[in-house]
Structure 1
Amino acid sequence: MPSPLTALLKPFLRDRLLHILLVAGIVLTLYQPAAVSSFPRWIDWPTIVTLIGLMLLTKSVELSGYFVWLGRRLTLRMRNERTLALFLVSTSALLSTFLTNDVALFIVVPLTVTLKKLVGIPVRRLIIFEALAVNVGSLLTPIGNPQNILLWNRSGVGFLTFIQSMLPLAAVLMVLLWLAVWLFFPSRTIRPATADAEATGKRTLLWACLLLYVAFIVLVDLKMAFPGLLLVAIALLFLDRRVLLAIDWPLILVFIAMFIDVKLLSQLPFLQPVAAQAAALHDGGLYLTGILLSQVISNVPATIMMLNFVPSGVTLAYAVNIGGFGFALGSMANLIALRLANESRIWLRFHAFSIPALLLAALLGWLLLPASG
C-alpha cells in the first residue's frame, strides 16, 4: 500500500504537460536569469485563486453524490444517446455564454463523467464536444471568456454591440456543432439508471456548496478573490476536508507555469522586432497571427500580447476566439475539460475533432468577418 506522501506526489510525477512546461521554463530562464525575481508578479493570482475556488466547489458537489442523482434524472427523461448529447452540448454552450467557459465545464464535465458510470455512454467523445461547445458559446458575449473581457474593456463598445459583431460567427459554428453531434452520436436507446440509496447524497455538503458558490462569485466580482477562497477552504475543512486534497492540484501548477513561460517567451530579444511589426499588420495578417499565436501560447496570453501592439477590434476578437480550437493549448478551457475527463487517450482523440474544427472555423470566420473589423 503506497504511503500518503507517495499518493500525494503521484499526480505531479505523472503529469507530462506540467513536466514540459517546467522544462521550457527552465530553458527560457537560462537566457534571462535576472527574471526569476519577477516570476511572482507575472502570475495572474486572481485567476489562479478563482480557478482553485471553482475546483474545490465542483469537487465538493461531486463528492456530495448529487451529480449521480442528476444523472439518473437525465437518463430517465432522455432515453436516446443523441438527444442526451445534444442537450449536454447545448447546455455547455449556453452556460459558457454568461458564466464563462471554465465555469460551464466545471459544471457539465463532472456530470458527464457520472453518466458514464451510470449508463456507459461514450464519455470521451461527449466531453470533447462539450469543450468545443464552450469555445463556441463563450465567443458570443463580452463576458464569455477572459479574452473577450480584455477586448471589450479595451474597445469601449457597448455590450450589445459586441454581441452583434460576434453573433454571425457564433451562430454558424453552433449550427455546425449541432450537425456534428447529430452525425457522431447515434440514435441509440440508453438504459435509464436505477435509483438506489446513493442518490440521497449528502444534503448538507450540497447546499453549503451552493451557498458558498454564490458567495465566492460575488467576492470574485468585487475583486476579493483571496478572501473568497479563504472562506471556501475554511468551510470545507469542517464540511469534508477530503476535498482539499482531491482536486487536480497539478492543473494549478500548469496554469502558473503557463503565465511564467509566456512572459519569458515574449521577452526574448529576437522576438522583439517581430512583435513590433505586429502593429503594421493588415487584417489578413492580424487574423492569421492571432489564430497561430493562440495555438502556441493559448488565446488569453495571445490576446494580452497582441493588445500591446494592435487596437482591440472585431478582427482580433475573431482570431483569438477561433484560436481556441485546434491544439489543446489553444484555450485554457480545453485543458480544463481534458483534465476533468481523466480519460486515457482523450488527448489524441480531442485533436482529431478540434484541428478540423479550427480549419473550418478559420475559413468561415474570415468569410463572416465584417469589412470594418
Structure 2
Amino acid sequence: MDITVIIFLLVYLALALGYLPGFRVDRTGAAVVGALAMIGFGRITDKQAWDAIDYHTVGLLFGLMVVSGAFTVSGFYQWLAGRVASLKVSPPALLAFLVVTGGGLSAVLTNDVVIVAMTPLLVSITMSRGLNPVPFLLGFCFATNTGSVATIIGSPQNMIAAQTLGLSFTGFMKVALVPALISLPVVWGAVCLIYRGRWNLAAVEERPPSATVAAPAQKLDIAETIKAAIVTVAVVAAFVFTDWPREMVALSAAAVMLVNRQVSSKEVIGTVDGNLLLLLAGLFVVNAALAQTGMPQKVVHDLQGAGVDFANPSILFLVASALSNIVGNNPAVMLLAPFLPHAANTDALGAALALGTGFSSNLIIFGSLAGIIVVEQAKDRGVKIGMGEFCRAGVPVTLLCMVLALLWIAFLT
C-alpha cells in the first residue's frame, strides 16, 4: 500500500477514535503530524502544502472566533447563562430557554465557540440549583449543532462548504433556516421525554462527587458587549448586502475588536480555538496529498457509476451524515466539498451538506467538536457523560432531525 494512503488512513483513524492508537496523539496532533509526514516523504512539496491550505476559510473562521471571543471576555456568556439558568421555571421550561439560546447563539457566533464558553457555566449553575446537569448539557449541545445549520457562519463546516461552492449568505439561509428552527423544538421534546423524572440530582443514582456547584460570577461589561454586538451585526450585514470577501470582513471585524483600551488583545486571542485551526490546516495538506494520487477521484467516479449522484441533495445529505460520524463533521465536508458540482443548485447542495453534518453530529460523542467539548469539559468538573448516556438521547434526536431534513430536502427539490 502506498505511504500516502497509509498516512491518510492513520490520520482519519485518529479523527474517528479521538487519538492515534498506541500514542498520546489527539486529533489535532494527528492532522499536523500527517501533514508533516506527507511533506517529509515527498508526497507533497512544501509549496504545494502551503498552497493547499485554504486561507480564506481559515481567515474567516479565525476572524469570527475573535468576534465571538469578545463576548466571552466581556462577560456576556456568563451573564446570559446566569440569567437563563436562574429563571424560576420548571426544568422543562429551563431546558427550552437553553435550547433556544444555544440554537440562536450558534447561528451567528459559531457553535464550537459558544459551547466552550457556556458548558462550564451550565454545569455550575444547574448543580447549584440541585438539578441534574446532563439533560441540560446535552440539550444545549444538540441545539447548538442543529441551530448552527441556519447560517454560513454557524459552524466551521458551513464555512468550508460556502467557500468551496461559492454560496451566498442569503441563498444558503433560505434553504437551511427553516429546518434549523424546526429542529429546536424536536431537540427539546426528545430530551424532555428521555429525562422525564430525572431532572433533579436526587433522582440520579450517583451525584458527581467533584462537580463545581458555585455559579461563577463575572460582571457584565456593557460597553464591550455593545461593541461586540455592533461589530457582529455589521459583519452579518456585510455578508448579506455586499460582495466583499467574507474572510476580509471577518478579519477586519477581528481587528476592530482587538484594538481596545480596556481589554487586552492577548485575552481576546486566548479564546480562539487554535487547535481547530491547526486541525483544519493539517487536513487541507493531508487531503491534497491524497488527491495527487488520483484515488479520491477514482472512488467518486466509481460511486457515481454505481448510482451515487453527488448532485442530488438527498443523496449528498445521507453520504455526509454517514461520513461525519466516522471522521467528524469538519473532515467530512473537507473530503466531499472538492467533488461537488458547481451547478445552479449549489445553495441546495450546500444546505444538504450542512444539514447532513449538523443534524447527524448528535448521534455519537465524536460526531462533532461540540459533543467532544461538552463531554470533556463536563468530565473536568466531575460530571460524567459516557457514550451510552450520550447516545441514549443523541440517537433519537438525530433520527428525528434527519427525517425532518430529508422531508425538507424533498420539498425543496
Alpha carbons 2:366, 2:372 under 8 Å: kept: yes
1:290 paired to 2:320: yes
Aligned AA for 2:84?
A: L
Question: How do 1:87-236 and structure 2 match up within 5 A?
Answer: 87-97=97-107, 101-102=111-112, 105=115, 108-109=118-119, 111-116=121-126, 118-119=128-129, 121-140=131-150, 144-145=154-155, 150=161, 159=170, 163=174, 167=178, 169-170=179-180, 173-186=183-196, 188=199, 201-202=218-219, 205-215=221-231, 218=234, 221=238, 223-235=248-260
Shift of 1:360: 4.6
Count of residues in Structure 1 that have an aligned counterpart in Structure 2: 351
TM-score, normalization by structure 2: 0.64
Question: In structure 2, the residue corresponding to 1:274 is in which secondary structure?
Answer: helix
Letter in 2 for 1:318: A
Contact conserved, 2:104 with 2:147, CA < 8 A, in 1? yes
C-alpha distance 155-15 of structure 1, shift in aligned 2 (>3 A):
closer
Q: Determine helix, strand or coil for the equivalent of 2:346.
A: coil
Give the structure with the larger helix fraction: 1
- For 2:41 and 2:295, locate their aligned partners in 1 and report how far apart those are by CA, in whole Å: 12
Alignment partner, residue 4 of structure 1: none
Q: Which region of structure 1 is more displaced relative to structure 2, 337-346 or 172-181?
A: 337-346
* Match of residue 74 from structure 1: 84
The DSSP-based 3-state class of the residue aligned with 1:92 is: helix
Cα distance in 1 for partners of 2:409, 2:232 equals 37
Alignment partner, residue 26 of structure 2: 16
Q: Which residue of 1 aligns with 2:295?
A: 270
The yes-or-no answer on 1:323 pairing with 2:351 is no
**Cα 1:250/1:120, change in 2 over 3 Å:** farther
Deviation, 1:166, is 6.4
User: In the aligned structure 1, how far is the partner of 2:24 from the partner of 2:74?
Assistant: 26
Q: Name 1:8's counterpart in structure 2.
A: none
Q: Identity of aligned pairs, percent?
A: 21
CA 1:218–1:141: 2 relative to 1, 3 Å? closer
Q: Which one-letter code corresponds to 2:351 in the other structure?
A: A
SS of the residue corresponding to residue 77 of structure 1 reads coil
Give CA deviations for 1:228-258 in whole Å, capped at 9, x if unaligned.
3344344378558555556654344334334
The one-letter code sitting in structure 1 at the alignment partner of 2:340 is L
User: Once superposed, what is the RMSD of the aligned Cα atoms?
Assistant: 4.6
Gaps of 5+ in 1: 1-12
CA distance in 1, matches of 2:36, 2:123: 36
**Structure 2 unaligned blocks of 5 or more:** 1-22, 202-212, 239-243
Rounded Cα–Cα distance in structure 2 between residues aligned with 1:157 and 1:244: 28
Aligned to 1:61: 74
Counterpart Cα distance in 2 of 1:69 and 1:294? 33
Residues 171 and 132 (structure 1), Cα distance of their counterparts in 2 relative to 1, 3 Å cut: same
Retained in 2: the 8 A contact 1:216–1:232? no
